[in-house]
Amino acid sequence: MLTNSKRFGLTTAVVSVSAMLLGSGAAYSMEMLKSFTASKPAAPTPVEATAFVARVEQELTELSEESSRINWAYATNITYDTQWLVSKNSERVTKMAVDFAIEAKKYDGVTVPADVRRKLNAIKQGITLPAPQDPKMGAELAAVTTRLSSAYSTGKIDYAGKSVAQDETEVLMQTLRNPAQLAEVWTKWHAVAKPMKADYARMVEIGNAGAKELGYADVGALWRSGYDMPPDDFTTEVDRLWGQVKPLYDQLHCHVRAKLNEKYGNDVVPLDQPIRADLLGNMWAQEWGALDDLVAPKNADPGIDLNKILKAKNYDPIKIVKTGEAFFTSLGFDPLPQTFWERSQIVKPRDREVVCHASAWDLDDKDDIRIKMCTQVDAENFQTVHHELGHNFYQRAYKAQPALFRSGANDGFHEAIGDMIALSITPEYLKQIGLIDQVPDASKDVGLLMQRAMNGVAFLPFGLLVDKWRWQVFSGQLTPATYNEGWWKLRKDYQGVRPPVARSADDFDPAAKYHIAAGTPYMRYFLARILQYQFYKAACDSMGWKGPLHRCSFYGSKDVGAKFNAMLAMGSSQPWPDALEKFTGSRQMDGSAIVAYFEPLMVYLREQNKSRSCGW
Ligand code: X8Z
Ligand code: ZN
């Protein structure tokens, strides 16, 4: 194998020479044969381990730029040829990563310096979906994953006489208010996912075979191994965090269901049932911000309607991104490079198929950073732009790290950065940047907090359950025959939602969500929802902020920026508790910051719900 060191090349030669001799049985004596087979290779040494990680870093750096450019070409222009290229590339990259991971395992028992051990772990844990070493399986896995991703991104429905693309179905779910029409859009989009089931099941089979070759029980165990703790402890950890925030979610659920009941009546929204998933203003019922008008508290300030304000102030997608960038530069980060503006996909191209789901890219580990979005001018996209830029500024902050440490402290950190910044989009900040003229009175802020909760709090159970479902799929607890049933059990148990129309075992509703179809792990977003408030509170505490937490904005604070950058610049070079401690003083992920942030809302919700019967 090309990727093997000389030592392993020799091992292979010994085995193959003896096999050859045994087969031919003639040319050498038995003594000579014994001496061949007895000469075992010496145990791997720390020096070899260090040389191995150096070689991996060099080869990864060489490969990753080319690979990123192929992926970019695909994601911004899905054609027969770019699918072909991306599939070939994925096969090649997976093979290389798997070969490295198998080789890394050989150093498991070797005492090496801490940074080398961390890099060896990164090599073993860094593959999202490993292929087994059988080349046929590698090619099949690449083909299957490319098909799944493309099927999602190019999926369309017929609605009101038009062909509607995936990103437009999201807008329909936000804006329609007729339950029959909502059910229609929801059902049609979920029908797009149904044919993906066979490919998905095959992907699970091959991925699991690959994970086993790497020494993991299944792909789920591999995913849970990336958090500087034993995989089983990670399961306990996310359940602990959910336990901290569940009371808040339960109160919000109860209130929103009552409001929906007032609007749609007992038939559509019975008060003792899970909420119909299509009524919550989002295809996956994951964020409910589109329903702000429905839940705005009467005697409180209704909050700030960014949807209206952005349009009234003539914001366009570029201006939204510039506004996001300006927040980061106010903290002392360098402006985005000129190439960001030249090469990013900020609006959806009219003439071709693309992956609309937002993402942030670092193509060369130098300064070719970009975002890829199909930006609309609304509050949700305003938030998403900050989210994506958070990824870009993180990537840039750790670019001086060795290749294997160029990632988030854990993947939840990466998802939390931009969202933490977005929490600083307070009324005071909006006035500072000229989006509103007057700052509303803080005594009526329950409306503002309600708006925040409709996204931040509503998301929590969904963030948790997506990978709870995949863990069950990868472990075999769910089979293709029970995939859908298992999905709806989790959605009912955690989110308290139900499908608008009857489902059958043939449906495959999980793949109606991008990250399932595209094979992107999801627990990171749950962690991020916890971490972003923890980071935010730490930033506000460090500024000596004394007012209500949700009114704190660190816009313009170079001091917060410098401290934040110090954590970001660490990349994944240290265990994440060290990075967390550096910025927040705590070594634990902790839901108490989000709970503290929403405390005034919790008081309001308890009061509203006191004579209601909550739960489902
Ligand atoms: O996928 C994303 C980002 C890209 S990393 C837009 N998010 C999750 C989702 O859309 O489901 C951000 C919030 C959760
Ligand atoms: Zn993200």
Mean pLDDT of 405-411: 98
Structural domain includes residue 450:
no
* Ligand 1 in reach of 381 Cβ (< 6 A): no
Give the position, in ligand 1's atom list, of the atom nearest the Cα of 513.
11
13 Cα to the center of ligand 1, angstroms: 49
Across-strand partners of 497?
A: 275
Residue 50 CA to ligand 2 centre (angstroms): 32
List the residue whose alpha carbon is closest to atom 5 of ligand 1.
Answer: 359
Indicate if 54 and 148 belong to the same structural domain. Answer: no
- 323/310 same-domain check: yes
Within a domain: 220: yes
| Number of domains, the chain | 3
Q: Do residues 143 and 87 make contact, with C-beta atoms less than 8 angstroms apart? A: yes
Q: Is the C-beta atom of 375 inside 6 A of ligand 1?
A: no
CB of 359 within 6 A of ligand 1: the answer is yes
The SS3 of residue 275 is strand
Pocket probe for ligand 1: among 384, 407, 421, 459, the residue whose CB has the most ligand atoms within 8 Å is 384
Whether residues 385 and 480 fall in one domain: no
Is 531 within the bounds of a domain?
yes
**Which token pair is 99?**
């070969």
The catalytic residue positions are 388, 515
- In whole angstroms, what is the distance from residue 253 CA to residue 458 CA? 8
420 and 321 fall within a common domain: yes
Q: Which residues contact 139 (CB under 8 A, 6 or more apart)?
A: 91
Q: What is the CATH number of the domain that holds 179?
A: 1.10.1370.10
Q: Which candidate, 282, 183, 277, 242, places its Cα nearest to that of 497? A: 277
| pLDDT of 22 above 60 | no
Atom from ligand 1 closest to the CA of residue 520: 1
Q: From the CB of 387, is ligand 1 less than 6 Å away?
A: yes
Residue 443's pLDDT band, with cuts at 50, 70 and 90, is confident
At residue 35, does pLDDT exceed 60? no
User: Which residue bears the tokens 């709970």?
Assistant: 595
Contact 581, 416 (CB under 8 A): no
Mutate to test the pocket of ligand 1, among 282, 345, 357, 419 (most ligand atoms within 8 A of CB): 357
* Same domain membership, residue 599 and residue 539: yes
pLDDT at 229 over 90: yes
**CATH code: domain of residue 383:** 1.10.1370.30
**Amino acid identity, position 159:** Y
pLDDT, mean of residues 47-56: 98
Ligand 1 center–CA 251 separation, angstroms: 24
At residue 300, the pLDDT reads 78
In a domain, 355, yes or no: yes
Q: What pLDDT, on the 0 to 100 scale, is given for residue 303?
A: 79
Choose one of 170, 385, 387 to mutate for the ligand 1 pocket test, by most ligand atoms within 8 angstroms of C-beta: 387
Kindly list the distances between the CA atom of residue 78 and the CA atoms of 82, 143, 169, in Å, as whole numbers in the listed order: 6, 14, 19
Q: Are residues 166 and 227 in the same domain?
A: yes
The residue-averaged pLDDT of 433-461 equals 94
Q: Greatest CA span in the chain, whole angstroms?
A: 97
| Residue scoring higher pLDDT (305 or 488) | 488
Task: Place 459 in a pLDDT band, splitting at 50, 70 and 90.
Answer: very high
One domain, residues 226 and 118: no
Ligand 1 pocket member 384 (CB < 6 A): yes
Pair 297, 429 in one domain: no
pLDDT tens for residues 183-217?
Answer: 999 999 999 999 999 999 999 999 999 999 999 99
pLDDT value at residue 442: 85
Q: What is the mean pLDDT of residues 426-454?
A: 93
Residue 23's pLDDT is: 32
Instruction: Please say if the pLDDT value at position 17 is more than 60.
Output: no
The answer on 176 and 120 residing in a single domain is: no
Q: Are 331 and 560 in contact (CB under 8 A)?
A: yes
Q: What's the CA-to-centroid distance between 614 and ligand 2, angstroms?
A: 33
**Domain for residue 536, yes or no?**
yes
Nearest in space to 555 (alpha carbons), one of 390, 449, 428, 393: 428
| Ligand 1 centroid to residue 72 C-alpha, Å | 18
Atom of ligand 1 nearest to the CA of 463: 14
End position of a domain, from candidates 521, 538, 556: 521
**559: domain range?**
306-439+524-607
Provide the b/e sequence for 282-312 (b: ≥16 CB within 10 Å).
Answer: bbbbbbbbbbbebbbbeebbbbbebbeebee
Q: Which residues, other chains included, contact 245 with Cβ-Cβ below 8 Å and sequence gap of 6+?
A: 457, 460, 530, 591, 594, 595
**Residues 378-396: tens digit of each pLDDT:** 999 999 999 999 999 999 9
Write down the pLDDT at residue 564.
Answer: 96
Does residue 613 belong to any structural domain of this protein?
no
Q: Which two tokens stand for residue 577?
A: 């508790």
Percent of the chain with pLDDT over 90: 90
- Decide which of 573 and 6 is more confident: 573
Q: Which of 480, 500, 521 is the last residue of a domain?
A: 521
| pLDDT above 70 (res 11) | no
By alpha-carbon position, which residue is closest to atom 8 of ligand 1? 525
Write the pLDDT tens digit of every residue in 303-327. 789 999 999 999 999 999 999 999 9
Distance 464 CA to ligand 2 centre (A): 16
* pLDDT mean over 100-116: 96
Q: Which residues pair with 165 in a beta bridge?
A: 156
Contact between 354 and 75 (Cβ < 8 Å): yes
CA proximity to 168, closest of 385, 374, 439, 445: 374
Does 35 reside within a domain? no
Report the distance separating Cα 154 and Cα 74, nearest Å: 12
Backbone angle region of 438, left / alpha / beta, with phi > 0 → left and psi within -120 to 50 → alpha: beta
pLDDT tier for residue 39 given thresholds of 50, 70 and 90: low
- Note the pLDDT of residue 444: 85
Separation of alpha carbons 273 and 496, rounded Å: 8
Nearest atom within ligand 1 for CA of residue 284: 11
Ligand 1: does its nearest atom lie under 6 Å from the Cβ of 525? Answer: yes
Residues 122 and 80 both lie in one domain:
yes
Q: Which ligand is nearest to the CA of 383?
A: 1
Residues 242 and 367 both lie in one domain:
no
Of the three residues 475, 501, 521, the one that is the final residue of a domain is 521
Instruction: With residue 361 as reference, give the H or E element that holds it.
Output: strand 359-362
Q: At 547, phi and psi to the nearest 5? A: -80, -170
Cα dist from 550 to 536, 553, 560, whole Å: 10, 8, 17
The pTM of the full predicted model, rounded to 2 decimals, is 0.93
Written as one string, the DSSP assignment of 386-415 is HHHHHHHHHHHHTTTS-GGG-S-SSHHHHH
Give residue 41's pLDDT.
67
Ligand 1 within 6 A of CB of 529:
no
Going by pLDDT thresholds of 50, 70 and 90, the confidence category of residue 133 is: very high
Looking at the predicted structure, is the pLDDT value of residue 36 above 80? no
User: Which band of pLDDT confidence, cut at 50, 70 and 90, is reported for residue 20?
Assistant: very low
How far does residue 527's CA lie from ligand 1's centre (Å)? 12
Radius of gyration of the chain (CA): 26
Average pLDDT for residues 52-67, to the nearest whole number? 95
The rounded distance, in Å, linking the Cα atoms of 82 and 75 is 9
Would you say residue 448 lies in a domain?
Answer: no
Does residue 460 sit in the same domain as residue 543?
Answer: no
Q: What mean pLDDT is predicted for residues 72-93?
A: 98
Counting other chains too, the contacts that 5-13 makes at CB distance below 8 Å and 24 or more residues apart are 5/48, 5/51, 5/52, 5/55, 5/103, 7/41, 7/42, 7/44, 7/48, 8/41, 8/103, 10/41, 11/41
Cβ distance 381 to 388 under 8 Å?
no
The pLDDT-based confidence of 134 (bands split at 50, 70, 90) is very high
pLDDT at 268 over 70: yes
> CB of 358 closer than 6 A to ligand 1?
yes
pLDDT above 60 (res 12): no
Per-residue confidence (pLDDT) for residue 183, from 0 to 100: 98
Nearest atom in ligand 1 to the alpha carbon of residue 462 is 11
What integer is the mean pLDDT of 140-156?
Answer: 98
Indicate if the pLDDT at residue 37 is higher than 70.
no
Q: For all residues of the chain together, what is the average pLDDT?
A: 93
Confidence category of residue 15, pLDDT binned at 50, 70, 90? very low
For residue 283, the ligand closest to its alpha carbon is 1
